[in-house]
A and B are shown apart, each in its own frame.
Chain A
Amino acid sequence: DAKTTQPPSMDCAEGRAANLPCNHSTISGNEYVYWYRQIHSQGPQYIIHGLKNNETNEMASLIITEDRKSSTLILPHATLRDTAVYYCIVRVGRDDKIIFGKGTRLHILP
């Protein structure tokens, strides 16, 4: 079973920042937080991951709380192409299988 809790859906206006929350209250000290997304019928796409510190790449930022029990994925300037299902995943081994939950369906509104 997935170890994370995410809202089933969210809306965001185009051009605004999309902030997607994730709760992972039972996360262990050696587990990473990963974010993937799946645009309709395509293969899942890696976005970002982190252990303790906040992370940023060309796609998004990941903010992890100090107690590591929750995190937020931030898409700084959402576009219509960011409409997708976003999955927050915790994993121990870096090459472990991914267990996908139901994710958050993000709708970007024009």
Chain B
Amino acid sequence: EPEVTQTPSHQVTQMGQEVILRCVPISNHLYFYWYRQILGQKVEFLVSFYNNEISEKSEIFDDQFSVERPDGSNFTLKIRSTKLEDSAMYFCASSTEGRQFFGPGTRLTVL
């Protein structure tokens, strides 16, 4: 069965550095999402993306965040200048017929 993949599985970075988290959504899906989950807390929506543009974003998704679909398969989340509080699991998802399929996540640790 097709699945969403994410790389890397774990990213360690220094505060102030840029990181790019990568996702490969399921190939025939049209809607893409990023969520994050700080340790011990709820899964939180960050941004949704459709037709090569952001369709909705949360308050968390400020100017430090950006998303891109650079080619026909990848979907990326960039954090320009990471902060300690960006440490979290980041999940990518893609959607068809109302069902969102999530990737295994990238654990981002900001030191």
Query: Residues of A at under 8 Å CB distance from B?
Result: 32, 34, 38, 41-46, 49, 91, 94-102
Decide: A95 near B103, CB < 8 A? Known: A100-B42, A100-B43. Answer: no
Shortest CB–CB separation between residue A100 and chain B, in angstroms? 4
Contact pick for A41, options B31, B45, B105, CB 8 Å = B105
Residues from chain A with a CB closer than 8 A to the CB of B93 are 43-44
Which DSSP category, helix, strand, loop or mixed, fits chain B's interface? strand
Contact B45–A95 (Cβ < 8 Å):
no
Residues from chain B with a CB closer than 8 A to the CB of A97 are 33, 45, 48, 56, 58
Inter-chain CB contacts under 8 Å: number? 51
Contact A95–B43 (Cβ < 8 Å):
no
Which DSSP category, helix, strand, loop or mixed, fits chain A's interface? loop
Chain B interface size range: 20 to 34
Contact B101–A95 (Cβ < 8 Å):
no
Bound form: Cα–Cα A101–B33 in Å: 18
Contact B43–A44 (Cβ < 8 Å):
yes
Bound form: Cα–Cα A95–B56 in Å: 11
Contact A49–B103 (Cβ < 8 Å):
no
Residues from chain A with a CB closer than 8 A to the CB of B103 are 43
